[in-house]
Amino acid sequence: MKKTELYLKGNKISDIMVADGFFSRFIGLMGKTPKQIEDMGGLLIKPCSQIHMFFMKTPIDAVYLSKDNVVIKIDCSVPTGICCKKVKGSRSVLELPSGTASQLG
C-alpha cells in the first residue's frame, strides 16, 4: 500500500494509506485493531463503490467520493459483519476510524 496525505478545504488532516490494487482493496482494514486504524489515519480504496465489513474488528466511518473527490455519501460507524449497498457515482471510499467523519464535519 502507498501512503498519501488527506486534505480538507486546503488543510492537511492526516496521512492515510491508499489501496489501489486488487489484493490491497480486498483486504482493506480487515483484521486491523482500532489502534492500527488510527495509526494508519485511514484508508483510501480506489476504485471502489461498495465496501464490506466482514472480518472487521471495529466499526468505521465510510466516506464515498466521486471521480473528482467530492463527497457523495457518509456512513458513520458502519457496523462489523455487513455488506454495504453500492453507492451510485462513487469512485473511491475513504475508510476512517469511527467518529472521525463527525469530528471533521
User: pLDDT digits over 4-49, tens only?
Assistant: 999 988 999 899 999 999 999 999 999 999 999 999 999 999 999 9
Q: Which candidate, 100, 62, 102, 101, places its Cα nearest to that of 82?
A: 62
Query: What is the Cα–Cα distance from 93 to 54, expressed in whole angstroms?
Result: 16
Region 53-61 average pLDDT: 95
Q: Cell triple for residue 44?
A: 483510501
> Would you mind telling me the total number of residues written for the chain in this entry?
105
- C-beta separation of 34 from 58 below 8 A: yes
Domain edges within the chain: 2-100
Instruction: Give yes or no for a contact between 69 and 94, defined as CB atoms under 8 angstroms apart.
Output: no
Across the chain, what does the average pLDDT equal? 94
How much of the chain exceeds pLDDT 90, in percent? 89
Q: In the CATH scheme, what architecture does the domain 2-100 have? A: Sandwich (2.60)
Reported pTM: 0.93
C-alpha cell at 81: 459483519
